[in-house]
Amino acid sequence: MQPFTYERAGNVQAAAAAVATRPEAKFISGGTNLLDLMKLEIERPTHLVDISRLPLDRIEETPEGGLRIGAQVRNSDLAADPRVRSRYPMLSQALLAGASGQIRNKASTAGNLLQRTRCSYFYNRNMPCNKREPGSGCAALEGFNRMHAVLGASEACIAVHPSDMAVAMTALDAQVETTLPDGKARTIAIGDLHRLPDSTPHVETALGHGEMITAVTLPPSPPGRQVYRKVRDRASYAFALVSVAAVVEKSGDRIRGARLAIGGVAPKPWRTREAEYVLVGAADSGSAFSEAAESALAGAVGRGGNDFKIPLAKRAIRQTLAVAVEGA
């Protein structure tokens, strides 16, 4: 690990300012991803601002009937919260499908959103990686790319965003609240938080340096049945090959409302609005699910090793929708 100085932030604005004034400074909370990367010297901050004890660890009701989740709420506490379990079950399911019990006890809500890709070339400092070293190239394009993106990628980077939680939050239309170094606050729709790689894959989010996530707000629970389904190489403690977050509301045998987001396939949690348009108003039949799945993967491009993800994602979408309508 490279040497660094450490301070514990006294409040949100001081934390944001402490990072903003040092170009190589970073926030640290649970540290489960950052310390992993620091040990490998992929992350080399010279100063750490510890925000883990800031009073951002509460889950509160919003006046609109939603929930405001503090940025420092641990993944395990969020998954176990009775309100989340009853009103946003797909969020609990997604959290519980991710990481291990030990990691969930440390990982924070904001840290989960901001975790970095697990692309093996990003992790291997002997290989080119435009995300780790801009301009060096992408070894995954012609390499072992079984885990990589089929949607939203570029010729500069085909890494995927690894979060399960963020996929469920994307289907739930979450809003991300931040504090800027000057003390001002802003709100970012979760779909606008992560950036696509294009030619600058090292720029991963819309956040400025020193801008700190303080909360994630969920609007009132959408009507219908929520299901989160994760497909992976082993039954537990593995990243998604493909995951699906679906909300389906029925009226008779027709679909009245639908929301669909997929994970493990793109550089960000991937909301599939076109597939939702296909579903709304359609009969709750296998053909509608197939049409939605085709629509969701319409622009997908395989790179060899990950070609299988395209049919796998379609099957996972069909299966998840079929489960969701059963109880809708």
Partner 1 sequence: MTETDYRITRRAVLEGGVATCLFLASGLPVGAQDAVATMTGEPAMTPMSRIPMTFRINATEHALELDPRTTLLDALRNHLGLTGSKKGCDHGQCGACTVLVNGRRINSCLSLAAQHEGDEITTIEGLADGDRLHPVQAAFVAQDGFQCGYCTPGQICSAVGMLEEIRAGWPSHASADVVSEPAPTEAEIRERMSGNICRCAAYPNIVAAIRDAAEEV
CA-CA distance, 295 to 209, in Å (whole number)?
A: 37
- By the 10 Å C-beta count (0-12 exposed, 13-18 middle, 19+ buried), 55 is classed as exposed
206 scored as a contact of partner 1 (CB under 8 A):
no
Q: Does the CA dihedral 163-165-171-176 come out positive or negative?
A: negative
CA-CA distance, 34 to 25, in Å (whole number)?
A: 12
The distance of Cα 102 from the centroid of its chain, to the nearest Å, equals: 19
Closest CB 261 distance from partner 1, rounded Å:
18
Instruction: Pick the binder of partner 1 from 237, 283, 299, 304 (CB under 8 A).
Output: 237
Instruction: Pick the binder of partner 1 from 62, 187, 199, 236 (CB under 8 A).
Output: 236
Closest CB 107 distance from partner 1, rounded Å:
10
**Which range of residues in 4-12, 133-141, 171-179, 199-207 is near partner 1 by CB under 8 A?**
4-12
Q: Report 96-115 residues binding partner 1 (CB under 8 A).
A: 96-97, 99-103, 105-106
Site string for partner 1, 19-48 (x = CB under 8 A): ---------x--xx--xx--x------xxx
CA-CA distance, 130 to 233, in Å (whole number)?
A: 27
* CB nearer to partner 1: pick between 67 and 278: 67
Instruction: Pick the binder of partner 1 from 72, 75, 93, 217 (CB under 8 A).
Output: 93
Helices (H) and strands (E) in the chain, counts: 13, 12
CA-CA distance, 311 to 273, in Å (whole number)?
A: 19
Tell me the backbone φ, ψ of residue 314, rounded to 5 degrees: -65, -45
**Positions that interact with partner 1 (CB under 8 A):** 1, 3-10, 28, 31-32, 35-36, 39, 46-48, 50, 52, 76, 79-80, 85-86, 89, 92-93, 96-97, 99-103, 105-106, 235-237
